[in-house]
């Protein structure tokens, strides 16, 4: 499924959280939203599953205005992973993963097979973890269960809001690698919010940088690091060249780059996805 924000705006009291956001996400693309604290990235993400309603403009899923879709129906097609995970403490790991399929009245055998499949997919062998309680899990294990639960009903869209932000750096790297492996297998349309630039570079097909509610730039990671306006240069830091070399192959790193600005971009990103508009 595709996603699109079209001139979306949101104001809380006297602060404009999102200011005229226009951006498209292609089917199967992993778009990372990043920016300073309070820049509007989480608010933008929550517009997709209607946890936040835009004051003006619109958000579209597969060309359909989400405001015209009943919230329950919409959220059946959207997985949601947050930093706090939010596992039900009184339910086993298997029951947590099975929660949405049960609400959808799946057959028991289908649910059992899906739980086993997903636990194995996220690196938690079902025979070891299915009957475990959330209180017994490490932070990394709990996040894996959260991802499995979000994928349980096989939603085409996955929203991830700082999902690995509460774990230690070593565990975070492991989870990032595991998620890339899962995404390469499943090919979901993903919007991923983070404050960590290295995480954005590692995971994103494209990175959208927000500042004070507005879209400052959007590009493939290598392009974003190589050539950007003053705000983006300041945001990516003086070691952006090293970050680029870590992200790209040697051949890509020494090739010609496409200049980009905050106002627009020529050419597609590394993923082949079209650049979003500002």
CATH number at residue 243: 3.40.50.300
Is 145 among the domain residues?
no
Given the structure tokens 């973890």, which residue do they identify?
Answer: 129
Is 234 among the domain residues?
yes
Count how many domains the chain has: 1
Is 99 among the domain residues?
no
State the pTM of this model.
0.82
Is 277 among the domain residues?
no
Q: Residue 49's domain spans which residues?
A: 3-77+155-253
From first to last of the 278 residues of the chain, give the pLDDT tens digit. 999 999 999 999 888 999 999 999 999 999 999 999 899 999 999 999 999 999 999 999 999 999 999 998 999 899 999 887 789 999 999 999 999 999 999 999 999 999 999 999 999 999 999 999 999 999 889 999 999 999 999 999 999 999 888 778 888 888 899 899 999 999 999 999 998 888 999 999 999 999 999 999 999 988 887 766 788 888 777 555 455 555 554 334 434 333 333 333 333 333 333 333 32
Is 265 among the domain residues?
no
Category of 63 on φ-ψ map: left (φ > 0), alpha (ψ -120 to 50) or beta: left
Is 50 among the domain residues?
yes
Q: For residue 161, which phi and psi values (nearest 5 degrees)?
A: -110, 100
């Amino acid at each position: 499924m595709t996603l699109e924000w079209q001139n979306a705006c949101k104001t809380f009291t006297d602060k404009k959280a999102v200011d005229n956001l226009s951006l498209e996400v292609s089917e199967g693309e992993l778009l990372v939203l990043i920016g300073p604290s309070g820049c509007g990235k989480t608010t933008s993400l929550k517009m997709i599953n209607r946890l936040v309603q835009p004051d003006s403009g619109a958000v579209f899923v597969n060309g359909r205005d989400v405001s015209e879709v009943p919230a329950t129906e919409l959220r059946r097609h959207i997985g949601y992973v947050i930093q706090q995970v939010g596992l039900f403490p009184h339910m086993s790991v298997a029951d947590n993963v099975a929660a949405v399929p049960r609400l959808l009245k799946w057959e028991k055998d289908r649910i059992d097979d899906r739980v086993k499949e997903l636990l194995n997919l996220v690196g938690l062998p079902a025979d070891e973890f299915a009957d475990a309680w959330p209180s017994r899990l490490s932070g990394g294990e709990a996040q894996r269960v959260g991802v499995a639960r979000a994928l349980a009903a096989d939603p085409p869209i996955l929203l991830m809001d700082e999902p690995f932000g509460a774990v230690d750096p070593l565990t975070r790297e492991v989870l990032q690698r595991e998620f890339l492996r899962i995404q390469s297998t499943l090919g979901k349309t993903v919007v991923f919010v983070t404050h960590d630039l290295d995480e954005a570079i590692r995971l994103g097909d494209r990175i959208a940088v927000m500042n004070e509610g507005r879209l400052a730039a959007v590009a493939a990671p290598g392009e974003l690091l190589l050539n950007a306006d003053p705000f983006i240069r300041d945001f990516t830091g003086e070691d952006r060249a090293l970050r680029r070399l870590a992200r790209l192959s040697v051949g890509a790193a020494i090739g010609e780059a496409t200049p980009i600005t905050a106002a627009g971009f020529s050419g597609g990103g590394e993923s082949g996805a079209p650049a979003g508009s500002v």
